[in-house]
Amino acid sequence: MAEARDKNPERTDQAHNLIRRGGQAPLAIMADRASGVLVGQACGNALGVGYEFKTPTLEGIPRMQGANGRLSPGEWSEATQLGICIAEVAVTGIDLTTEEGLDAVATRFLAWYHGGTRKIDAPTRVVLETTSNDISNMNPARKMRSAAAYFHLRTRRTSGAGTLSRCAILGLTRIKDPQWTAESVRAVSELTHVDPLASEAAVIYAEAIRRAVTDPLPGEETWVNRINLGAGIALLPTARREQWHEWLQQAEETYFKPPRDNTYAVTALQAVAGILQAVKIEHAGMPLSGQDAFRRATSLAVQLGGATDTIAGLVGALFASGIGLAQIPADLQTRLHGWPGLKADALSEMGLGTALAGVVGTHGMARMIASASSLNDLIAAHPDAELDTVTTPEP
């Protein structure tokens, strides 16, 4: 577990002083991309739930058709719901590598779990149930890690894509600091999935989102160069990098023959890599707008079969981080809804708030909100500015 970061005694009391002119992605562009991450994930989820584990025979564009009475058309599934749980904590600016931050995430996971019948991956279900029955005096995060460790020791089957499916929001938690982002991803992932493969896949994926959101290149047409799934491999232990390079390279070279079983962390990320490669190849032949690229990528995810809601959600968030909220098809956004009674606009605010909070910290976030009627007002007042490069936000 990483230690808490030191506080910065030099922080200003004025919210607008947390913004400056800079040479990286302008604030308005970065805000549009961050705002799209959860929305993109939810769109992919809602498109994929109706096709999950069915024979992959889809032709054309998938529809938001719900899931066998469990989810209505346009309703996002449990992967996005758990991503929202993380976002509700991250948006405060709290450090997710600390026990305080992880306790908050664990507590939110448990509250969600007890809120009704949930269709979730086996490791997460067992861990949440075991944690719920733990009457010891340990703090929530420690209870959850203990349950996860026991499940892994007993089964050796905790490399599923469950934690990967909900980690898109973690790519926004410390957007100016890739190492800190990776530490946050590992810490949250290990609450439910002990197998290093699960957290390694999550680190790679979250870093791709962080890099895309902060990329200085403007314009939707540059999405093809902005989204780089392999960049996060450098954040893994040295001994693990070659294997991941091989796995992702294999996925790109055989994009036309994706993994049959995409329910594991490695194969799920390979499926995403193959889809990204396929869409980039199509773009090279006939340039695709951001909106068209999003539709094509989510359609390919559904066509794979298997865990279609997971893969489409991963693809949706990844492409959204590169094209921005404005390029996610409006007809998909307007139909979105889901637990806990939210729509697309709330998800976009969570994404933006998480990105801002990770830079300015909890106190800075409170000042920013107090200085404007909404975060969007603040962005509108400084569209060409850049968030101050603070890498030690207050807890």
Q: How many CA atoms lie within 13 A of 339 on its CB side?
A: 20
Type of residue numbered 156? R
Measured distance CA(366)–CA(253) in Å, rounded: 47
Cα separation, 118 vs 120, whole angstroms: 6
Q: Is 384 annotated as a binding residue?
A: no
> Token pair of 287, please?
């340039």
Q: For residue 75, report the phi and psi dihedrals to the nearest 5 degrees.
A: -90, 130
Q: State how far the alpha carbon of 214 is from the alpha carbons of 84, 119, 176, 315, 383, in Å.
A: 22, 34, 8, 18, 14
DSSP per residue over 50-108, as a string? Answer: GGTTS-S---S------BTTTB-TTB--HHHHHHHHHHHHHTTT--TTSHHHHHHHHHH
Is 289 part of any known ligand binding site? no
Which parts of the chain are beta strand (E)?
19-20, 337-338, 342-343, 386-387
Angstrom distance (rounded) from CA 115 to CA 20: 43
* 107 marked as part of a ligand binding site: no
What are the Cα distances from residue 101, in Å, to 59, 210, 222, 224? 44, 20, 35, 35
Size (the chain), residues: 395
Do residues 175 and 89 touch, judged by C-beta distance below 8 A? no
Q: What is the DSSP letter of 7?
A: P
Binding site for Mg(2+), by residue number, is 77, 309-310
Binding-site members are 77, 309-310
